Amino acid sequence: MTAVSQPLPMTRREFLYYVWGASMALLMAESVGATLWFTLPRFREGEFGGLFPLEVTAIPEVDSKPKGIPDGRFWLVNVGDKRINDPRFAQVGTEKFRPKNKGLKVIYMVCVHLGCLYGWGDASDRFECPCHGSKYLADGTTYSNPANRNLDTFEFEFQDAAGNTLAKSEPDADGNIQPVEIPSGATTIVVNTGKRFNGQSNDPGKNN
Ligand code: FES
């Protein structure tokens, strides 16, 4: 009669190994899921991917700290003389990106390097990415690599109370998105989070 081989019982070391493996798989799934949730558009008004209306009162003061709108995944930046005359454009050879006029820019919250969420640094007066150290001036111009292009921006327009378009963001002759001055009579900004303009290429080197 042939003996039937029995499976060997799992050792404590093997058990702990499998538990660790399952935990890592769960952690990765959660991380990927959260990234997809944030990145993928949903195409409904008032949600990322669709038209995102805001009252003009949402715009921060001229040259003050940019205002984050997390639901729309963008920053509102009110560019004034201080931003236009920022000496850091000259320091890192980005004169061609210095804004040509004052007004509003709407900047995508995701870093153009590898997709992390960057934040605003009050002390440094610039955007800073915690993942690999990319830095950007307030208008989205790259100040320090590894990011080698400026931040992406969203198309937007100013409307009056009747819904008429008064002014809208468009690329200039060089393909840069310039700030748009707030027209008189504007009551609403409508940001099209389904239409993104890629930031211009730029390699400012590693700057502190
Ligand atoms: S993802 Fe922002 S620096 Fe790498």
Q: What is the mean pLDDT of the chain?
A: 88
**Distance in Å, CA 127 to ligand 1 centroid:** 11
112 lines ligand 1 (CB under 6 A): no
Ramachandran category for residue 163: left, alpha or beta (phi over 0 → left; psi -120 to 50 → alpha): left
Residue 23 sits at φ, ψ, to 5 deg, of -65, -45
d(CA 27, CA 19): 12
Of the listed ranges 1-5, 10-14, 86-90, 128-132, the least confidently predicted one is: 1-5
What pLDDT was estimated at residue 1?
Answer: 47
d(CA 133, CA 135): 6
133-162 average pLDDT score: 97
d(CA 28, CA 38): 15
Could you read off the pLDDT of 15-62 as tens digits, one per residue?
A: 676 666 666 666 555 655 555 555 555 556 667 789 999 999 999 999
What pLDDT was estimated at residue 42?
Answer: 53
State yes or no: pLDDT of 178 exceeds 80.
yes
What pLDDT was estimated at residue 6?
Answer: 63
Provide, rounded to the nearest whole percent, the portion of the chain with pLDDT above 90.
Answer: 69
58-81 average pLDDT score: 97
Instruction: Give how far Cα 67 sits from Cα of 1, 12, 119, 157, 205, Å.
Output: 80, 53, 11, 17, 27
Nearest CA-CA partner of 64 in 86, 79, 84, 85 = 79
d(CA 150, CA 113): 10
Residue closest via CA to ligand 1's atom 1 equals 114
**Distance in Å, CA 3 to ligand 1 centroid:** 61
116 lines ligand 1 (CB under 6 A): yes
